[in-house]
């Protein structure tokens, strides 16, 4: 009897202790709720409609308001998000998607197949990702309130990856059907989604204000970057647009802002000594891409383009355009190490092989007549400005005359679209790409800005056609290896190096996960 009493007492003590610990844990979690997060971003945006813009900041901010059927986790695994499950049928011609039920939208209604279909049809017509899919797509059908079917005329292997693509103006998000019907193809200025925060106020050139959505329906999956559970701890998020970098810095130093993007990298040691500030180095982040005007001599043939690879000392360029080696690394592949599409030996034998004499031989083989080569680059971005100056200096050392043309971003975009007036253009590209098919939008015959129309460009078109139909991951990777090999042979553009931006945050901003697009669900203020 005494043994039974001692055992019962022990069980009671364990229960009390468990409840006590649970109570403390619950209280600690409850303490995370509340407060206004003030952030400082470098540039404003023209509007907040991601289907109608390639601006990455729109996507980053509105990821808090809108969500996708699928999202990528920290390991770039495709994960159902607003979708509960999916099935691929008819050898890749049919995708049946089951939606999560009882997901509330910001208008109080339950998200259903009608919202998804309306959003998808708009995405297909306006969004660059939709434009990639559209030629192969047949129709989307409603099976019932929470099930729908996507039908293709031809197999399009990267369909789900394109839907979840983090690249600006590619990702598919679900909007309320009423919003799509109200605005059609016009720019949306009233926003209703399913995200953990809802749209409250937009002051052009000043700020965007989001507030917690109290009826948010989180994913049941474990939180992992964009995928899984999102918790809105903060009462409010304010995205302030502060063009002056030093104002962003001083705002974090004084506590006016809890987060600031793109601050001067040379101030890293100063921030490190401040106990109230945490440095945030983003990687993977950006590529410094040198793009050729492939319609203008001497870069209308591959020998002229190959010559520039051998003419440049990439390591010296890293110090010249970025500086501190903590913020850059030499990388020949389009996809970073750890990305499932990374090709380890990309560019072997040419990338990073500094050989000015070989460069001169190839230039002569290309028929180069000694004309000045024009570098078109941005003057507002450090990598573009400093990189263009460093490239000019290196080429002039081996006897190549160079003319430097620096402009603001809108002027650069306008001029690079033309077939004359420039030979090279230095541009930042987002490093994180979740499917190689995404490169199709700017690689191949007369794509994007490279004016590439030759035997090599048509061979590259064929590579993408092969990848388009192949659904087996291993075989698609083999095609990716072929793509990288041919890119380094024909060199319509190439990555000089990968580099990282520096953000800073106040130490009281907790559980912040760094990424190429900042996000603030699951973060809280201590």
Closest by CA position to 133, among listed 122, 146, 144 = 122
What is 286-499's CATH topology? Dipeptide-binding Protein; domain 3 (3.10.105)
* DSSP symbols for 416-480: HTSSSS-SEEEEEEES--S-GGGGGGGSSTT-TTS---SHHHHHHHHHHHHHHH---HHHHHHHH
Q: What average pLDDT does the segment 386-393 reach? A: 96
**Least confidently predicted of 84-98, 261-275, 309-323, 404-418:** 404-418
Closest by CA position to 189, among listed 54, 65, 57 = 65
Q: What is the dihedral of CA 131, 136, 140, 141, to 10 degrees?
A: 180
Residue 155 has pLDDT above 50, yes or no: yes
Closest by CA position to 493, among listed 433, 435, 452 = 452
- In angstroms, the CA 451 to CA 418 distance is 9
Q: What average pLDDT does the segment 29-35 reach? A: 87
Residue 2 has pLDDT above 50, yes or no: no
Instruction: For 408, list phi and psi in degrees, rounded to 5.
Output: -70, 165
What is the separation of C-alpha 252 from the centre of its chain, rounded to a whole number of angstroms?
A: 25
If you average pLDDT over every residue of the chain, what do you get? Answer: 92
Instruction: Give residue 389's pLDDT.
Output: 97
Contacts with 91 (C-beta within 8 Å, 6 or more apart), sequence order: 155
Residue 153 has pLDDT above 50, yes or no: yes
- In angstroms, the CA 311 to CA 290 distance is 13
Is the CB of residue 148 less than 8 Å from the CB of residue 135? Answer: no
Most confident range, picked from 157-171, 422-436, 493-507:
493-507
* Strand (E) or helix (H) holding 509: strand 509-510
Residue 287 has pLDDT above 50, yes or no: yes
Q: The tokens of 443 are what?
A: 């690689």
Instruction: Give residue 322's pLDDT.
Output: 95
- In angstroms, the CA 189 to CA 183 distance is 8
Domain boundaries, the chain: 38-262+504-525, 286-499
Neighbouring C-beta atoms of residue 126, cutoff 10 Å:
19
Is the CB of residue 228 less than 8 Å from the CB of residue 75? Answer: no
- In angstroms, the CA 346 to CA 486 distance is 10
**Least confidently predicted of 55-59, 210-214, 311-315, 401-405:** 55-59
| % of residues, the chain, pLDDT over 90 | 80
Question: Measured on CA atoms in the order 96, 97, 98, 101, is the torsion positive or negative?
Answer: negative
Instruction: Give residue 29's pLDDT.
Output: 67
Spell out the SS3 assignment of 24-73.
HHHHHHHCCCCCEEEEEECCCCCCCCHHHCCCHHHHHHHCCCCCCCEEEC
* DSSP symbols for 191-212: ---SSSEEEEEEETTTEEEEEE
- In angstroms, the CA 314 to CA 316 distance is 5
Name the more confident of 31 and 377. 377
* DSSP symbols for 367-420: T---PPEEEEEESSSHHHHHHHHHHHHHHHHTT--EEEEEE-HHHHHHHHTSSS
Q: The tokens of 34 are what?
A: 């509340």
Instruction: Give residue 472's pLDDT.
Output: 87
Question: Measured on CA atoms in the order 286, 42, 237, 216, is the torsion positive or negative?
Answer: negative
* pLDDT tens digit sequence for 339-383: 889 999 999 999 999 999 999 999 999 999 999 999 999 988 889
The one-character DSSP state at 513 is -
The residue assigned the tokens 């043994």 is 3
Residue 108 has pLDDT above 60, yes or no: yes
Looking at the domain that runs over 38-262+504-525, which CATH code has it been given? Answer: 3.40.190.10
Q: The tokens of 199 are what?
A: 């749209």
Is the CB of residue 52 less than 8 Å from the CB of residue 508? Answer: no
- In angstroms, the CA 195 to CA 341 distance is 30
Is the CB of residue 66 less than 8 Å from the CB of residue 179? Answer: no
Is the CB of residue 259 less than 8 Å from the CB of residue 41? Answer: no
């Amino acid at each position: 009897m005494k043994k039974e009493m001692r055992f019962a007492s022990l069980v009671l003590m364990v229960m009390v202790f468990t409840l006590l610990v649970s109570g403390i844990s619950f209280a600690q979690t409850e303490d995370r709720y509340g407060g206004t997060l003030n952030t400082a971003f470098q540039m404003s945006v023209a509007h907040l409609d991601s289907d109608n813009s390639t601006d990455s900041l729109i996507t980053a901010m509105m990821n808090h308001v809108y969500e996708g059927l699928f999202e990528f986790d920290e390991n770039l695994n495709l994960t159902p998000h607003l979708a509960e499950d999916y099935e691929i049928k008819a050898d890749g011609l049919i995708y049946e998607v089951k939606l999560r039920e009882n997901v509330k939208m910001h208008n109080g209604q339950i998200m259903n197949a009608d919202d998804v279909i309306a959003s998808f049809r708009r995405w297909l017509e306006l969004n660059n990702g939709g434009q990639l899919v559209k030629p192969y797509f047949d129709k989307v059908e409603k099976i019932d309130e929470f099930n729908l079917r996507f039908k293709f005329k031809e197999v399009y292997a990267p369909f789900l990856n394109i839907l979840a693509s983090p690249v600006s103006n590619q990702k598919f998000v679900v909007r309320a059907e009423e919003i799509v019907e109200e605005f059609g193809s016009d720019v949306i200025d009233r926003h209703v989604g399913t995200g953990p925060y809802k749209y409250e106020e937009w002051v052009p050139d000043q700020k965007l204000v989001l507030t917690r959505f109290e009826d948010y329906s989180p994913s049941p999956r474990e939180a992992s970057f964009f995928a899984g559970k999102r918790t809105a701890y903060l009462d409010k998020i304010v995205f302030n647009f502060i063009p002056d970098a030093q104002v962003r810095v001083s705002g974090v130093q004084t506590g006016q802002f809890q987060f600031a993007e793109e601050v001067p990298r040379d101030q890293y040691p100063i921030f490190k000594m401040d106990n109230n500030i945490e440095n945030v180095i983003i990687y993977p982040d950006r590529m410094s891409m040198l793009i050729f005007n492939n319609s203008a001599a001497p870069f209308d043939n591959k020998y002229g383009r190959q010559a520039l690879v051998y003419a440049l000392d990439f390591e010296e360029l890293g110090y010249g355009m970025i500086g501190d080696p903590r913020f850059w690394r030499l990388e020949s592949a389009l996809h970073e190490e750890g990305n499932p599409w990374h090709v380890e030996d990309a560019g072997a034998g040419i990338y990073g092989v500094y050989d000015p004499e070989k460069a001169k031989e190839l230039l002569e083989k290309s028929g180069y007549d000694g004309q000045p080569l024009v570098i078109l680059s941005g003057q507002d971005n450090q990598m573009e400005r400093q990189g263009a100056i460093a490239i000019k200096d290196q080429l002039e050392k081996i006897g190549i005359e160079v003319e430097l043309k620096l402009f603001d971003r809108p002027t650069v975009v306008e001029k690079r679209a033309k077939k004359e007036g420039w030979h090279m253009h230095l541009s930042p590209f987002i490093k994180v790409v979740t499917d190689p098919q995404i490169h199709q939008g700017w690689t191949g015959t007369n794509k994007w800005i490279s004016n590439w129309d030759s035997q090599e460009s048509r061979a590259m078109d064929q590579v993408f056609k092969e990848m388009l139909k192949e659904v087996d991951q291993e075989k698609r990777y083999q095609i990716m290896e072929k793509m990288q090999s041919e890119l380094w042979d024909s060199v319509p553009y190439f990555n000089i190096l990968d580099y990282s931006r520096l953000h800073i945050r106040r130490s009281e901003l907790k559980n912040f996960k760094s990424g190429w697009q900042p996000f603030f669900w699951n973060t809280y203020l201590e």
